[in-house]
Amino acid sequence: MDIKQEGTNKHFMLTCSFTNELKIDQSLAHNGVCLTVVQIENDTYRVTAIAETLKKTNLGNLQIGDEVNLERCMPANGRFDGHVVQGHVDQTARCLQVQDQKGSWRYTFEYDAGIGNITVEKGSICINGISLTVVNSAENQFSVAIIPYTYEHTNLRFIKPGDTVNLEFDIIGKYVAKLLGKA
């Protein structure tokens, strides 16, 4: 990955196994942040994050060499598989704890509940673009349990206490909270 600052924007140049399938003007989620592909050159593509995106996500903290979780948009004729996520980060959270549970990992995160977002046990949460199930929920924090496959194939394995992650809360929960006047 290469990163270039231009004014208040950051341009990210990345490579991935499916760069040859990307198209200019296509959306692609980076750590859960939907960004537009603006350039493709051989096996590298470029996306741009504006100041608003950098302020509200962890993309501004990325450094050359960091791994980024990528997720393509679901095609309109594709199979619906998993949680409903949009690639629209609601806020960030801070990792409080990572527990090795001898076969899985439990991550606990703290977020600003004053913004109006909520978690519920067995509800969905998207962390850095990874759709997960909440296993423990409190007013301003929650925990998720990570299986070995997710640990090995995402950038969660690099997250440690104090690190910032992107959160996208359950879309249905957001609508219910809004209708009940909680958000």
Please give the Cα distance from 52 to 74 (Å, whole number): 25
pLDDT tier for residue 183 given thresholds of 50, 70 and 90:
low
Task: Say if residue 182's pLDDT is above 70.
Answer: no
Q: Which of 66, 9, 14 lies closest to 44 in space, CA to CA?
A: 14
First vs last C-alpha separation in the chain: 37
Q: What are the boundaries of each domain within the chain?
A: 2-72, 91-179
Kindly state the average pLDDT of the residues 65-89: 81
pLDDT value of residue 100: 96
Phi and psi dihedrals of 180, rounded to 5?
Answer: -90, 0
| CA nearest neighbour of 135 among 119, 158, 148, 151 | 119
The pLDDT assigned to 16 comes to 95
Distance CA 26, CA 8 (A): 22
Per-residue confidence band for 33, with pLDDT thresholds at 50, 70 and 90: very high
Question: Tell me, what's the pLDDT at 61?
Answer: 94
Q: Is the pLDDT of residue 99 over 90?
A: yes
Q: Classify domain 2-72 at the CATH topology level.
A: Elongation Factor Tu (Ef-tu); domain 3 (2.40.30)
pLDDT at 82: 67
The pLDDT, as a whole number, for residue 179 is: 84
- Bigger pLDDT: 77 vs 126: 126
- Residues 139-148 have a mean pLDDT of 95
Closest CA to 140 of 169, 98, 106: 169
**In the structure encoding, which two tokens stand for residue 56, read together?**
């509200």
- Tally the residues of the chain: 183
Q: Is the pLDDT of residue 5 over 70?
A: yes
DSSP state of 117: -
Per-residue pLDDT at 84 exceeds 90: no
Please give the CATH architecture assigned to the domain spanning 91-179. Beta Barrel (2.40)
Asked if 73 and 33 touch (Cβ cutoff 8 Å), the reply is: no
Please compute Rg for the chain using Cα positions.
17
Is it the case that residue 151 has pLDDT exceeding 90?
yes
If you search the block for the tokens 């996306």, which residue do you land on? Answer: 47
In this structure, which amino acid lies at residue 132?
Answer: L
Residue 50, pLDDT above cutoff 90: yes
Q: Are 165 and 157 in contact (CB under 8 A)?
A: no
Task: Give the pTM.
Answer: 0.86
Region 42-48 average pLDDT: 96
